[in-house]
Amino acid sequence: MWKKYYRSATLTVFASVFIAAPPVFADEFTDADLKKWQAEFQSVVAEGEKLFHSHLGSNAVGCDQCHPNGSDTHPETYPKFQKQLSKVATLRDMINWCIENPAEGEPLALDDPKMIAIEAYLTWERRGEKLDPGKH
């Protein structure tokens, strides 16, 4: 009798997992997922836009003063040889360079959420431009 009960229970579990419930695959997502993820990204872009138009250093100078709409930052060209640094640099290196020099501030950690937000804003404002790594 117990055996019978177990068999029945196993079948029920099997049915609920493989038949009654829809199959779940790791790489499938819905339109709702896409909207949610895009919204997450845009919220980080918006945070980056806010930071970019604030004073990240000590001298009341904002990034947008030289780079309205993030222009003339060329995120699509990084990493590239930055002649003034004598090395191949990333966009984040240059963001920190600007914070430290024209804005006279302290550099951000490369994985600081603020750094990622600024990078997201700059790349978003340059969307559609083809990747051109290394271009000066």
The Cα 62–Cα 95 span in angstroms is 12
Q: Does 68 bind other proteins (CB under 8 A)?
A: yes
* Selected range binding other proteins among 7-15, 19-27, 65-73, 112-120, rule: CB under 8 A: 65-73
Query: How near is the Cβ of 61 to other proteins at its closest, in Å?
Result: 6
Residue 113's CB: how many other CB atoms inside 10 A? 13
Residue 10 CA: distances (Å) to CA of 3, 15, 19, 22: 11, 8, 13, 18
Compute the CA torsion angle 32, 127, 47, 103 (nearest 10 deg). 170
Q: Does 42 bind other proteins (CB under 8 A)?
A: no
Q: Does 125 bind other proteins (CB under 8 A)?
A: yes
Query: Using the rule CB under 8 A, which residue among 12, 38, 43, 69 binds other proteins?
Result: 69
Residue 52's CB: how many other CB atoms inside 10 A? 22
Q: Does 128 bind other proteins (CB under 8 A)?
A: yes
Residue type, 85: L
φ/ψ of 112, rounded to 5, equals -60, 135
Query: Using the rule CB under 8 A, which residue among 66, 88, 109, 110 binds other proteins?
Result: 66
Q: Does 119 bind other proteins (CB under 8 A)?
A: no
Q: Does 105 bind other proteins (CB under 8 A)?
A: no
Residues in touch with other proteins (CB under 8 A): 53, 58-61, 64-72, 84, 97-98, 101-102, 125-129, 135-136
